[in-house]
Amino acid sequence: MPSRTLPSPAPVNSPFSSSVTPHHETTTTRIFPPLAAVGFSLFITLSICFCKFNRKRRSPAAVASSSTPPQKQPLHEFSYSSLRKATASFSPENRLGQGGFGSVFRGTLSPSSGGGNVAVKVMDSGSLQGEREFQNELFFAGKLDSPHVVSVIGFSRRRRSRLILVYELMDIGNLQDALLHRRSPELMIWNRRFLVAIDIAKGIEHLHSLNPCVIHGDLKPSNVLLDRFFSAKISDFGLARLKSEHVEVKVVSESDVVEDYGSVVEEVESVVTNTTGCDESNFGFTDQSPVPLSSPEMVEQVPMTSPETVVSVSPEMGEKGSVLEVGNVVRSKDWWWKQEGNVGRGKGKEYVMQWIGSEVKEERQSSDWIAETAEGGKKVEKKKSSKRLEWWLSLDEEKEKGKKKKRRMVREWWKDEYRKELAKRMKKKKKKKTLESEFYSDDVSGSVDQRRHGDGEVYRKKRRGVSSNSIGSSIDWWLDGLSGEQWRARRRNSQDSVKSCGVSSTPSMRGTMCYVAPECCGNNIDDVSEKSDVYSYGVLLLVLVSGRRPLEVTGPASEIMLRANLMSWARKLARRGRLGDLVDEKLQLLDQEQAVLCIKVALQCLQKSPVSRPSMKDVLEMLTGAISPPDLPTEFSPSPQTRFPFKARRKQNR
């Protein structure tokens, strides 16, 4: 008998183990290897294609890192018509607010679109910067999932130029309005504010705990939204970025900070000092003043005015409105550009000075600046700056000749002129309506009036009129975090355009004046780390405890001198052991110990060297009592001297 070879039993766990006949088995083994190879290579090809496609679509921030944070549920893509229906055709009555690059509307989704109340953010058309921020936001929205971060529900992309993002609705709105514009009496109760501080800390801590770490990059009260229970959530990821793996928090020595970055806030503070004429040791006027309207010869006829008229700026007087109306300057586009790329040492002050200077320049006819090309604008700038130089030089000569009295009169004259100019421009505002309407052309809102009324509160503030001596308030406005509904009425018409006007305050690519960490003001993008968010949180914490803006020019001269810069005021109080003085006097049911703890933590966060600042995790634990409260940082040295000429001269002259 011929011997038969028995088929070997199939292994028990083999996927191919079955009662198949040997014939089938032979066929399978013959067919499978080529099939598997084809399938495998197809899979590899598809994966490569997918990766390439994905990389192309990723935002610049995303490209910085090879890995991404954990994925959450995919975003829903809404049809444009469903969102239009939800917002009653983007009706002005439904407008919740206005960001730098778009309007936000309240909406109610139909059941077929998921139902519920939402906030719908519509990007203004034609803004490259806006589109970049929207894309960035969309990228992060798809990744972040935290109860302390405002959720993005979906988006609509009707046309390339008109992106729409759909968020969960935050009923109370932003913290800036609720706290600093006193819209929410609930925030007068200490515990509410403290819980808001904790919520924000949790939100930031969550971002920093992701791998790779997410840096928000623009933390400020207007980017914190409150729901109906006053739970705070972080919003606006337009400037957020992933921390690249190779970036480490740098050890920055005090001298590095002074040399390379300077402190924008200190610079701005110094500008305020210059502008208000309030000096640290001298309540009188400063020795220099911004550019006069015309030649100094005119000045001799101008009578002197009392210093008090300039420095006593009432708190709510025309807050913010004034700049909106008067900041009609071609140069602000230049400002914007510089701020985007490089706000180096001295620049912050320089820009504020430029702006203040522009306030007193001869008002140009609106039609002039509309028609002017970029080149034309530059020529005008050049002429003006050479005039300015001549003027400065002539001042120096005068100084040598001992004509100090004349110079004082120049200053007085300038201040007087500035006030007159503000008043004049407020009047002209009404006449400009027709002209402006040419630019309000997108279909979100049909007319200037509609849009303005949409900005309800702002509009009313503007109409109430701004007293001509609101220099300080104007600066407050400018430094407000500038999220504000207040400046965008102009910005939305003008972004990326040669007729850019108004002072663009918020988003540079690097953050917001007063909230931005010193290291973010240098050239090196790698200096920005999660510790930059910690710095901004420190400012925010002080704002919460004190109920004041980081830079506020209100009240009598002595007040301005002491308290204008919230951060340096806190440092001064710490040195004197009187931190309690910083706490908002209007707070009810105050827990003094908790409030002082918050200030101490804030001071830790505000240290100039990023590496000295605590991590957000430590901040949270300090605030919640999980770890012992911090010692006050040793860094309470007086503000470093800046190289800004006005200040330097002033010191020499003393």
Nearest approach in angstroms of CB 475 to ligand ATP is: 18
**Residue 344 Cβ, how far from ligand ATP at the closest point, in Å?**
22
Residue nearest ligand ATP by beta-carbon distance: 99
Q: Indicate the burial class of 46 (C-beta count within 10 angstroms; 0-12, 13-18, 19 or more).
A: exposed
Give the range of 2-10, 24-32, 232-240, 521-529 binding ligand ATP by CB under 6 A: 232-240
Query: Could you tell me the two tokens for 36?
Result: 């598997």
Could you give the 3-state DSSP secondary structure of residue 230? coil
- Does 273 interact with ligand ATP (rule: CB under 6 A)? no
Smallest distance from ligand ATP to CB 152, Å: 9
- Strand ranges, E, within 144-289: 152-159, 162-168, 173-174, 214-215, 224-226, 232-234, 241-242
Q: Which listed range, 218-226, 362-370, 423-431, 606-614, lies at the site for ligand ATP (CB under 6 A)?
A: 218-226
- Per CB under 6 A, the list member of 129, 235, 546, 607 interacting with ligand ATP is 235
Among 96, 422, 513, 605, binds ligand ATP (CB under 6 A): 96
134 binds ligand ATP (CB under 6 A): no
Give residue for tokens 């007159």: 420
Measured from the CB atom, the residue of 236 and 417 that comes closer to ligand ATP is: 236
- Which stretches within 58-141 are classed as H helix? 60-63, 80-86, 128-141
CB of 207 to ligand ATP, least distance (A): 16
Closest CA to 453 of 91, 142, 114, 86: 91
Helix (H, G, I), strand (E, B) or coil at 317: coil
135 lines the binding site for ligand ATP (CB under 6 A):
no
Note whether 61 and 69 are within 8 A (CB): no
Q: Using an 8 Å Cβ cutoff, are 79 and 120 in contact?
A: no
| Spatial separation of the C-alpha atoms in residues 605 and 74, rounded to whole Å | 35
Give the E-state strand segments of 124-231 in sequence order. 152-159, 162-168, 173-174, 214-215, 224-226
Q: What gap in Å lies between CA 485 and CA 354, rounded to an integer?
A: 23
x/- track of binding to ligand ATP for residues 177-216 (CB under 6 A) = ----------------------------------------
Q: Does 236 bind ligand ATP (CB under 6 A)?
A: yes
Evaluate whether 385 touches 303 at the Cβ level (below 8 Å): no
Name the percent of the chain in helix, strand, coil, to the closest 5. Answer: 50, 10, 40
Q: Which helix (H) or strand (E) holds 537?
A: helix 530-546
| Nearest approach, Cβ of residue 385 and ligand ATP (Å) | 30
Q: Which stretch binds ligand ATP (CB under 6 A): 91-99, 264-272, 584-592, 593-601?
A: 91-99
Residue 217 touching ligand ATP (CB under 6 A): no
Q: Are 212 and 108 in contact (CB under 8 A)?
A: no
Q: Taking CB under 6 A as the rule, does residue 263 contact ligand ATP?
A: no
- Residues from 414 through 433 that contact ligand ATP (CB under 6 A): none
Omega within 30 of 0 (cis) for the link into 212: yes
Residue 507 found at the interface with ligand ATP (CB under 6 A):
yes
Residue 169 sits in the site that holds ligand ATP (CB under 6 A): yes
The least CB distance from residue 569 to ligand ATP, in Å, is 25
**121 marked as part of a ligand binding site:** yes
- Is residue 151 involved in binding ligand ATP (CB under 6 A)? no
- In the DSSP assignment, the letter for residue 120 is E
Q: Which stretch binds ligand ATP (CB under 6 A): 11-19, 230-238, 306-314, 611-619?
A: 230-238
Beta strand pairing call for 214-215 and 241-242: antiparallel
Q: Which is nearer to ligand ATP, 217 or 547 (CB)?
A: 217
Provide the minimum distance between the beta carbon of 613 and ligand ATP in the complex, in angstroms, as a whole number: 23
Look at residues 172, 170, 190, 168 and name the one whose alpha carbon lies nearest to residue 181: 172
For ligand ATP, give the closer residue by CB, 235 or 568. Answer: 235
Question: Nearest approach, Cβ of 122 to ligand ATP (angstroms)?
Answer: 9
Q: Give the residue with the Cβ less far from ligand ATP, 167 or 414.
A: 167
Q: How are strands ordered across the β-sheet holding 224-226? A: 173-174, 224-226, 232-234
State which residue, 262 or 507, has the beta carbon closest to ligand ATP. 507
Q: Does 97 bind ligand ATP (CB under 6 A)?
A: yes
User: What is the spatial distance between Cα 48 and Cα 67, in angstroms, rounded to a whole number?
Assistant: 16
Nearest CB to ligand ATP, comparing residues 204 and 313? 204
**The one among 127, 506, 532, 554 contacting ligand ATP by CB under 6 A:** 506
Active site residue 218: yes
Q: Which residues contact 558 (CB under 8 A, 6 or more apart)?
A: 283
Q: What secondary structure letter does DSSP report for 149? A: B
Nearer to ligand ATP (CB atom), residue 117 or residue 637: 117
**Which residues share a beta bridge with 123?**
102
- Report the residue from 82, 113, 127, 174 that binds ligand ATP according to the rule CB under 6 A: 174
Of the candidates 124, 177, 199, 218, the residue annotated as catalytic is 218
* C-alpha–C-alpha distance, residues 620 and 611, integer Å: 17
502 forms part of the interface with ligand ATP (CB under 6 A): no
Q: Smaller CB distance to ligand ATP: residue 407 or 491?
A: 491
Q: Does 121 interact with ligand ATP (rule: CB under 6 A)?
A: yes
Q: What angle do CA 628, 633, 634 make, to 5 degrees?
A: 140
Which of 517/564 has CB closer to ligand ATP?
Answer: 517
- 82 Cβ neighbours under 8 A, 6+ residues apart: 109, 110, 112, 113, 156
**Which lies closer to ligand ATP via its Cβ, residue 180 or residue 598?**
180
Amino acid at 149: V
Q: Of residues 113, 125, 223, 474, which one binds ligand ATP by CB under 6 A?
A: 223
Indicate whether 150 belongs to the interface with ligand ATP (CB under 6 A). yes
Looking at 65-73, 165-173, 279-287, 624-632, which segment touches ligand ATP (CB under 6 A)? 165-173
Separation of alpha carbons 225 and 119, rounded Å: 12
If one asks whether residue 99 binds ligand ATP (CB under 6 A), the answer comes out as yes
Q: Does 483 bind ligand ATP (CB under 6 A)?
A: yes
Number of chain residues interacting with ligand ATP (CB under 6 A): 25
The nearer residue to ligand ATP, 507 or 522, going by C-beta atoms, is: 507
How far apart are alpha carbons 411 and 409 in whole angstroms?
5
Work out how close the CB of 33 gets to ligand ATP at its nearest, in angstroms, rounded to a whole number. 56
- Are residues 197 and 623 in contact, defined by beta-carbon separation less than 8 angstroms? yes
Binding site members for ATP: 121
Active-site residues, by number, are: 218
Binding site for ligand ATP (CB under 6 A): 96-100, 102, 104, 119, 121, 150, 167-170, 173-174, 222-223, 225, 235-236, 238, 483, 506-507
Binding site members: 121
